Amino acid sequence: MVDRSDQTIRHIVIVGGGSAGWLTAGVLAADHRAAAPDGLRITLIESPDVPPIGVGEGTWPSMRDTLRRIGVSESAFFRSCDAAFKQGSLFRGWRDGSAQDYYFHPFSLPQGFGDAPLAERWLQRFTDTPFADLASHQPHLCAQGRAPKQMATPEFASVANYGYHLDAGKFGLFLRQHCVERLGVRWVPDHVVGIEAHDNGDVRAVRTREHGAIEADLFVDCTGMQSLLLGKHYEVPFVSQKQVLFNDSALAVQVPYAHEDAPIASQTTSTAQGSGWIWDIGLPARRGIGHVYSSAHTTDDKAEHELRAYVHASGGPAPDDQPRPRKLTFQPGYRERFWHRNVVAIGLSSGFIEPLEASALAMVELSAAMLSDNMPATRADMDIVARRFNDAFRYRWERVIDFLKLHYVLSDRTDSAYWQDNRAEASVPERVRELLALWRHRPPSRLDFHRLDEVFPAASYQYVLYGMGFRTAPTTHAAWRDAETADEHFRQAAALTTRMLGALPGNRDLINHICRHGLTRI
C-alpha cells in the first residue's frame, strides 16, 4: 500500500453544481487563486441530467459577505438572479392561529442589545407592544415595504441589515458563469457513473460518462440528497430527526403578481397551517409559495387544498386557475459525519432539516468557508481538519434543530394532532427543555451559547421566544437597575424607525433602480 500521508493537496473536484456546488467552488477558487498558474486547481463536475431542486430561495445576511468574498457585483447579482431584499421573517398563526397572531424575527439586533436588559424591561412594562416592534426598527420597515438601503448606498453596504430572496435556478447559473470566467474553475458538464478508490480507501477518481476518470486529492460531495460519495459510496449513516421535526413534504408553486408594479415583500412570510406552514417569498417577477407539512399528519390533497386557498386569499389566482404545485419530499436529518477520508459533503448531501428560517444556504456558506479557511496542506493534515470540521458541524446541526423546534414547542395551538405532537415531551430535545427551564427566570443571552461562531445569536432566540408569547419572570433586579438605559434604547429605536421610514425607498423602487443603473462599487 502506498503511503499518501505527505501528498500535497493540489486539486479539488466538486461533484455537483447548483447553489451548493458553485458557492463552494467560488469560495475555494477566490481564496486559493485557482486562476493563477500556481493556485489550487478547482474542477466542478455537473450532470446535465440532474436539475437543481431550486427551492431554497431565502438567504441570511451572511450571503452578502460570501458574494463579496468571491468578487461578485451585487448589481449584476440582482439583474441576473431575480433577487430581492430580505430583512427577516414574519410569522403568522404560529402561537394560537388568531387573526392578531403575528411576530417578526428581523435580521437587525435589538437597539442597544448587550448594553441594557432590554428583554427584562420589556417584560416588566411594555408587553402590550410586540418585543421586536419595540426593540427594533426593522419590523416597521418590513410592514411598510421599505428597502434596507438607499439608492446611493454602495454595493453590499446597508442601512438596515439584510439578506436576499432569489431564484435558485438563476443563482446557480450566475455563479457558474462567474466561477468559470473570473475565478478559473474548470467546469465539466458530465454525469458521474462510478467511483474509483485507492488501496487505502480514499477516493482516487470519479468516473464520468464522457470525460473518463477525473482524479483529485480532495472531493467535495454536492450531489444533493442522493449523497453520491459520502452516503452511497462510503455509506456514512444518516441521522434522522423525524422524531423531533415532523415535516417531510412540500408543495411549491410560482405565482404571478396581480400587476407588474405590485409591492415586493421585504421579509419571508411563514403562515402556520393545520399540519405545517406556508412560505411566501416575493421576487421581482413572481412570488414563490410553498406548503411544508408532515405526511404523517395530513394528506397531499389536503395540503394542496390549503396551499391553493392561501394563494387565492393572498391576492393570487382562484384555486382552479393556479398551476399545479411541484411535490418535494425529504427526510429531516444529517450525516453522522460530514468529512470522511478525502470526501467532504456540503449542501443537501450533508443534511437538511426543513425550510423554516432558511438555514440551508447558510450551512453551505459556513461549510465552504470552513473548508477554505482550514484547507489542509497534505493528506495527513486532512484527518486533523476533518475531525474539527465534523465537530463544528455536528454542533451547528444540533443548534439549527433546537432553534427550529423552539417555534413549534412554544405554540398554544390545539387544532390538530400535529401541533399537539410537536409539544409532546418525547419530541423535544433535552437541550431545548433545559434552555426553556432556564429562560423561565432569565432571558436568552450569550451565556447560553458558548461558541464564537454560533449559528443563531441570543437575540434570535429572544425574538422567537417572546414573539410566541413565552414569559420570563426575572429573579434579579437588572431591569430596575438599568431601566432608564433600556428605555432610552427603546426611544432610539422609535426615532430611528421614523427617520428610516422617511428616507428609505420601497423595495421594488430600489430593485428597479439597481437593475437600471446599478449601485456604486467600493
Catalytic residue among 86, 170, 232, 405: 86
Residues in the chain: 522
Q: Is 20 annotated as a binding residue?
A: yes
With H, G, I as helix, E, B as strand and everything else as coil, classify residue 381: helix
Cα-Cα-Cα-Cα dihedral of 29, 34, 35, 38, to 10°?
150
CB 85 within 8 A of CB 507: yes
Query: Is residue 86 annotated as part of the catalytic site, yes or no?
Result: yes
| Residues sharing a CB contact under 8 Å with residue 63, sequence separation 6 or more, in sequence order | 163, 164, 361, 362, 365
Phi/psi zone of residue 97: left (φ > 0), alpha (ψ -120 to 50 degrees), beta? Answer: left
Q: Is 170 annotated as a binding residue?
A: no
Closest CA to 70 of 220, 182, 187: 182
Burial pattern 326-354, b for ≥16 Cβ within 10 A else e, equals: eebebebbbbebbbbbbbbbbbbbbbbbb
Q: Is 192 annotated as a binding residue?
A: yes
Q: Is 348 annotated as a binding residue?
A: yes
Q: Is 141 annotated as a binding residue?
A: no
| Host H or E run for residue 423 | helix 417-423
Cα–Cα distance measured from residue 519 to residue 399, given in angstroms and rounded to the nearest whole number = 36
For residue 147, give the DSSP letter. Answer: -
Q: Is 365 annotated as a binding residue?
A: no
**Known binding-site positions:** 17-20, 86, 192, 348, 357
**Known binding-site positions for 7-chloro-L-tryptophan:** 86
**Known binding-site positions for FAD:** 17-20, 192, 348
**Known binding-site positions for L-tryptophan:** 357
Active site residues: 86
